[in-house]
Amino acid sequence: MLTHRFWAGLFALVPILGIGLYVIAVLGVGSVGGFSFAGLWLPENANPYANAIDHLFDLVHIICGVVLGVTTSILAYVVWRYADHPGRQAEPALYITHHTLLEWIWTAIPAAILVFLGFYQLQVWADNKMNRPMVMVEGQERAVEPSALVVGKQFGWEVYYPGPDGVLGTLDDQRVENELTVPVGRPVVLRVEAKDVLHSFAIPGLRVKQDVVPGMTQLVWFQVDRPGTYEILCMELCGWGHYKMRARMKAVAEGLEAEVQE
Amino acid sequence: MLKHSLVWWLLGERCPWSARVAVLAGRWAVCGRDLVCLLSVVVAVGCTPPAEFGDNSLEWYKQERAARLEPGQGFPEVHRQDVSDITRVWFGTPDAPQLPLLEGEDDPALELLDMGKLAWAAGPVVSRNEESSQGLYRRHCAHCHGVTGDGRGPTSAFLSPYPRDFRLGKFKFKSSPTGTPPTKDDLKTILVNGIPGTSMPSFRLLQDEELDVLVDYVIYLSQRGMVERFLIAAVRELDEDARLVSLPDAARLRDLPLDVQLGPLQRVAPVGGESAADRDSAADADSVGGSEADAKAGADEDDGSESDGGSGAKADVSYDRDKIADDLLFLAEEQMLPVLEKWLGILDFEAKEVDVPAWVLDSRDAAYESQVALGQKLYFGAANCVQCHGETGIGDGQTNNYDDWTNDWLKVEGINPTDAAAWAPYVNAGAHPPRPIMPRNLRLGVYRGGNRPIDIFRRIQYGIEGTPMPASLTLTEEQIWALVAYVQQLPYETLSRPETAKKLENERPVR
C-alpha cells in the first residue's frame, strides 16, 4: 500500500512544505538545529513610499499561496485516488483532446486576476517610478534634484556627491567607494548608472530596486524614516564577483555634510 | 568515462592517494547509483591535506637560466628542499604562520606584526563568531592573490591588470618614497577604497579590525616571499656540492628535530588560532630552550634533547648541530634581517605633511586659471608627462614598457616580449604572459591610487613604484600642485565628454 501511494505522498509535500515554509519565514520564529528562522523574510520597511509595495507584495503572495495550495492539493489527491493498488477495479483510461468549459475557466480566472493586479498597482508604480517627489523651492513646486550619483561596476558601487558647488559631474565631486550617506525624513533622489554590465541597485530595507543599464541614467527615490545602516545589494547576476557587490547605506538625522566630507 | 574523469578532476591534487583509491574502489564496487558516487566524492574531497605555501618556481627557473646551466638541467633538488624547509620553519604554513624571531618575545618583528592577527587571517575559512570568520585571507583575497601571495590565484589569469604578487615587496600606491615599503595606513586605504579601474574591490564593509588583520598578513606574505627570493638567489652563489645548511647527501632539514631546524631562532607561543598545526608547534616550541643554549649545546638539559635528535629519531643521519645553527644564523642575518629591517622602517615613518592648496579643485578661485595653465606648460615641458601619457592625455604615449613584476624576469634575461616562444618557458614556470603597462588615460577621471588631490600629488612626487612612472626629483611642490590642478580638470574639459556637449545643444529634461 505504502509503495503504491508513495508518489501521492511526495505530491502532497508540495502544498504542505510550500505553504508551511512560507508561513515559517513570515513568522520568523523558532529554529532547527541551530538554524534560526528569524531574518528569512524581508527586513522591516523604513520607506513610506514603499508601504504600498509591501501591501502589493503580500496580496500577490496570498493569491499565489491560495492557487498553489488548491492546485497542488488537487494534484496530490488525484495521484492518491487513482494510484494502482491491489484489488483496484481497473477502468479503461480516457483520452480527452479538449474540454472547452474547463479551458475557459483556467484562462479566464488567471486573466481576471492579472488584469485586476495591473490596474490595482498603477498608482504605486507611478509613485515609485514616474512621479518624482516634489519640494517647494521659493514658493514654487519643483522636482527634487538627485543628491548623489551611484555607479555600479564589477564589483562594487561608486558614490559621487556633488561637492561644494552642489552640481554633479563637476571638478569638485567627491567619490566614496561602497558607502552612501543620505538624510533621514525627507525625500532622497539618486541617479544610478552602470559602468560595465547590467547591475541592479537594490536596498531591501527600503524596497528599492532598479536595474541599471550601461549607457542609461535612471532615477530612484525614497525616504528613510529610521536612522541606521542599510544594505545595498546588486540584484542582477553581473559576473563572478556578483556576491561581493554589497555596499552600506547610512541614514543620518543630522550632520550629513560632515559625514559626506569625511 | 566522462563521469570518471569528473571524479579525477574534482579530486585534483587535493587528496591523498589512499582517498582516491577508496573513491575508485567505491565506484566500481558499490556505486551503481550516481548519488552514492557523488557522496563518496564529497567525503573524499573533505579530507584535504593541510595547505602549504607554493615554491617560487618562477624565481628558481630564472636563477637556473641566469646560472647558465645546461638546457633542461636545474639546480639539484636538494637545494629546493633546503629553501622550502628553511622558509617553512621560519614562516610556518598557511594554516600556522610563524615569524623568524632571533630575539624571542623581544624581537622587533613582533612590533610590526601581531601573531594573533596573523593567526586570524591564516587558515581555512571557519566562522569565528557571528560577526567574523577565521581565515580572512583565504576568504577574501586568496582567489586572486593566491594562498602564497604570488598573484596566481585561480581567478588571476582572467584579470587585467594581473593581481599583485606580494613577493617582490613592492607596492604601488603609498605615501612613502620609492624604495620604501608602504605604511600600514597606505595598505588599509587600498583595502577600504579598492583600486578603481582594476579588479581590486573595496572591502569597506569589513570591520576595522579585520582590515588591520589583513594588512598584517599581506606584510607577512610579502616578507616571506622576499626572504624566499633571497634564499634562492643565495643558492646560485653556492660552490658546487655545497648546501645552504651543512647536511650530508639527501638529508632534509625538515626531518630533523624542531630545535635543530630552528637553530638560532626562537618561537613564541602562538596566540588565537586553534588548529592542530598550531597546537603541535606550540608543543614543539615548549621543548625548545633558549636559542643560544641550543646553538652551543652546552647546558646539561640540552644534551638530552640533542642526543635524542642526534640518534636520529626521525631521520637516520648524522649531523653537526652547531654547524647547522651557524649556517642558519648566517642565512638569517644575510637574507632575513635586511627584509625585516626594510619593513621595520615603516614603524617610524611619518609622511611629510603637505598642505593642499585651496584652489586645486576650485575653478572659481582667482589663482585657478593661471595654475592650470602652469600645469599644462609643465605637462608638455619640464615634467615631460607627455612622453607616456600622450599629447591629449589619453595614455597613448610610450606603451611598450613593462612593470617591475614582469621585468623581473623579462628584462633581466633580455627576452623579447613579442616572441612567445622565448617567454613560454617562464610562463610554464609560473609567470603570467607579459602584458605592456599602459600609461593612465587622464581623461577618464579614474585614478587607481585615489582621486583626492593629495593622492595625485603623491603619485607625481614619489612616482609609482614598480612602474615606469618616475618620482619627480626636479619639480617643486608648487609645480606639482599646478600639475595636479591641470590633470584633475582634464576629465571635465568638453573634449573629454562629447556626450555632455551634445546634450547641451538638444537638452531633454531628465525625468
Residue ranges of domains in chain B, CATH in brackets? 2-45 (no CATH), 57-348 (no CATH), 368-401+436-500 (1.10.760.10)
Disruptive mutation site among A131, A175, A189, A250 for chain B (greatest number of B CBs within 10 Å): A175
B119 and B273 in contact (C-beta within 8 Å)?
Answer: yes
Residue A92 lies in a domain: no
Instruction: Domain of residue A184: give its range.
Output: 144-261
CB B1: neighbour CB atoms within 10 A?
Answer: 5
Residue B464, all three cell numbers:
609609482
CATH of the domain at A216: 2.60.40.420
Q: What is the pLDDT of residues A21-68, one digit of tens each?
A: 888 888 877 777 777 778 788 888 899 988 999 999 999 999 999 999
Phi/psi of residue B136, each to 5°? -60, -40
Q: How far is B361 from chain A (nearest CA, A)?
A: 6
Q: What is the pLDDT of residues B308-325, one digit of tens each?
A: 434 444 456 677 888 888
Residues from chain B contacting residue A246 (CB–CB below 8 Å) = 205
Domain count, chain A: 2
- Co-location of A152 and A255 in the same domain: yes
- Co-location of A181 and A249 in the same domain: yes
Q: What is the pLDDT of residues B430-475, one digit of tens each?
A: 899 999 999 999 998 889 998 889 999 999 999 999 999 999 888 9
Residues from chain A contacting residue B362 (CB–CB below 8 Å) = 164, 171-172
- Co-location of A11 and A112 in the same domain: yes
- Co-location of A149 and A251 in the same domain: yes
Is pLDDT of B181 > 80? yes
Residue B491, burial from CB neighbour count under 10 angstroms (0-12, 13-18, 19+): buried
- Co-location of A114 and A224 in the same domain: no
- Co-location of A167 and A236 in the same domain: yes
Of B202, B362, B500, the CB nearest to A177: B202
Instruction: Determine which helix (DSSP H) or strand (DSSP E) holds A233, and give its type and residue range.
Output: strand A228-234
B351 and B462 in contact (C-beta within 8 Å)?
Answer: no
Lowest pLDDT segment from A69-73, A246-250, B278-282, B329-333: B278-282
Is pLDDT of B503 > 70? no
Please tell me what DSSP assigns to residue B327: H
Residue A135 lies in a domain: no
Kindly indicate the confidence band of residue B31, based on its pLDDT and cuts at 50, 70 and 90: very low
Residue A227 lies in a domain: yes
Angle, vertex CA A74, rays to CA A71 and CA A76, nearest 5? 110
Q: Strand locations in B321-414, DSSP E? A: none
Question: How far apart (Å, rounded) are the C-alpha atoms in residues B10 and B4?
Answer: 10
Residue A213 lies in a domain: yes
- Residue B1: its pLDDT value, please? 44
- Residue B316: its pLDDT value, please? 61
- Co-location of A68 and A175 in the same domain: no
Residue A255 lies in a domain: yes
- The sign of the CA dihedral B475, B481, B484, B486 is negative
Q: How far is B466 from chain A (nearest CA, A)?
A: 25
CB B40: neighbour CB atoms within 10 A?
Answer: 20
Residue B189, all three cell numbers:
586605504
Is pLDDT of B272 > 60? no
Of B192, B202, B488, the CB nearest to A171: B488
Q: Strand locations in A144-198, DSSP E? A: 148-153, 156-161, 174-177, 179-183, 188-194
Q: Across the A/B interface, how many CB contacts are shorter than 8 Å?
A: 45
- Co-location of A74 and A161 in the same domain: no
- Co-location of A122 and A11 in the same domain: yes
- Co-location of A256 and A151 in the same domain: yes
Is pLDDT of B500 > 80? no
- The sign of the CA dihedral B488, B490, B496, B500 is positive
A135 and A223 in contact (C-beta within 8 Å)?
Answer: no
Residues from chain A contacting residue B455 (CB–CB below 8 Å) = none
Task: Label residues B249-286 b or e (16+ Cβ within 10 Å = b).
Answer: eebbbbbbbbbbbbbbbbbbebebbebebbeebeeebe
Residue A136 lies in a domain: no
Nearest-by-CA chain A residue for B450: A175
- Co-location of A157 and A53 in the same domain: no
Q: Is 0.90 exceeded by the ipTM?
A: no
Residue A134 lies in a domain: no
Residues B205, A248: C-beta atoms closer than 8 Å: yes
Q: What is the mean pLDDT of chain B?
A: 80
Residues A155, B362: C-beta atoms closer than 8 Å: no
Instruction: Determine which helix (DSSP H) or strand (DSSP E) holds B339, and give its type and residue range.
Output: helix B337-348
Kindly indicate the confidence band of residue B195, based on its pLDDT and cuts at 50, 70 and 90: very high
Kindly indicate the confidence band of residue B40, based on its pLDDT and cuts at 50, 70 and 90: low
Residue A90 lies in a domain: no
- Co-location of A31 and A105 in the same domain: yes
Question: How far apart (Å, rounded) are the C-alpha atoms in residues A33 and A30?
Answer: 10
